[in-house]
Structure 1
Amino acid sequence: MKISEIKQALAEVEAVNFRLPSGEYLPAHFHVTEVGLVSKHFIDCGGVERRETVANFQLWEAGDYDHRLAPQKFLHILEVSQRILGTEDLAIEVEYQQATIGKFGLTREGNDFVLTPKQTACLAQDACGIPDAQPFALPQLQMAGAACTPGGGCC
């Protein structure tokens, strides 16, 4: 999800609900504690220099159970954050505390914002000698009449 998409979504929803990949919802009293610009300048294992920039939202919860972040308040936070984020329509990355700080992508499903898993990957597989994933076929099982027999290939 990009900044423009979350702004549009916030104008359409009545409540801000975040859902984890497991299907569990963040407690309704969560806070958006940070909105930031995260730039990563790196060299991949193949020696290629790369840059990546995302808008980062940090979600957090405290013991203030009566707190609710209204869509309009979240939009206001994004407007104030534009000083840092600039005008580029950046992809969004979300941080949320679990056993450690988890990093997630973000999508929308209906009225919910869904945190999506992020995966590591080798960006230079050809330079590292990593073969393309080759699909493999399961051996064809043979049915020996109506029952399986030892060594018959059906189980």
Structure 2
Amino acid sequence: MNISEMKQALTGLSAVNFRLPTGEQLPPHFHVTEVGLVSKHFIDCGGVERRETVANFQLWEAGDYDHRLAPQKFLHILNLSDRILGSEDLAIEVEYQQATIGKFGLTFDGTDFVLTAKQTACLAQDACGIPAAQQVALPQLQMAACTPGGGCC
């Protein structure tokens, strides 16, 4: 989801709700503590220089159980952040405190904003010599049993 999509979604809502990838709702008294611009300038393992820029939201909850962020207030915060984010329609990344700070993507299901799991990946698989047949998605790897001759050990 990008900034323009979020602004559009907020205009039609009566309440702002966020849901974790597990389906669990964030407590309704959450705060948006930051809206920022995060730029990453890096070199991948194949030696290619890359840049990535996202709009970053930090969600936080405190003991003020009566707090509710209205859609209009959130939209006002986003409009104030235009001077930081600029005019580019950036993708949104969300930080939320769990056992450690989690980073999530974001979608909207028509009612709730849904935090989506993010995965790491090798951006230069050909330079690393990773054959397509050996590329295993993380959920599959977690369930795979390592047996002699199975190629995983």
Instruction: Report deviation, 1:133.
Output: 3.2
Q: Give the TM-score normalised by structure 1.
A: 0.85
- Structure 2 counterparts to residues 16-95 of structure 1, below 5 A: 16-95=16-95
Q: Give the TM-score normalised by structure 2.
A: 0.87
Change beyond 3 A, Cα 1:110–1:133: farther
- Structure 2 counterparts to residues 90-101 of structure 1, below 5 A: 90-101=90-101
Instruction: Write the distance in 2 (CA, Å) between the matches of 1:134 and 1:52.
Output: 27
Instruction: Report deviation, 1:13.
Output: 1.0
Determine the structure 1 residue equivalent to 2:141.
Answer: none
Structure having the higher Rg: 1
- Structure 1 ranges of 4+ moved more than 2 A: none
Q: Which amino acid aligns with 1:33?
A: T
Q: Which amino acid aligns with 2:103?
A: K
Instruction: Write the distance in 2 (CA, Å) between the matches of 1:19 and 1:130.
Output: 35
Instruction: Write the distance in 2 (CA, Å) between the matches of 1:68 and 1:127.
Output: 49
Q: Which amino acid aligns with 2:40?
A: K
Q: Secondary structure at the match of 2:18?
A: strand
CA offsets 1:54-89 (integer angstroms, 9 cap, x no match): 000000000000000000000000011111000100
CA offsets 1:27-69 (integer angstroms, 9 cap, x no match): 0000000000000000000000000000000000000000000
**Quick check: which one's helix share is greater?**
2
Instruction: Write the distance in 2 (CA, Å) between the matches of 1:134 and 1:63.
Output: 47
Q: Secondary structure at the match of 1:110?
A: coil
Q: Secondary structure at the match of 1:22?
A: coil
Q: Secondary structure at the match of 1:133?
A: helix
Instruction: Report deviation, 1:134.
Output: 6.4
CA offsets 1:81-140 (integer angstroms, 9 cap, x no match): 1110001000000000000000000000121000000000000000000111369xxxxx
Unpaired runs of 5+ residues, structure 2, are 136-153
Overall identity of the aligned pairs, in %: 86
Q: Secondary structure at the match of 1:116?
A: strand
Unpaired runs of 5+ residues, structure 1, are 136-155
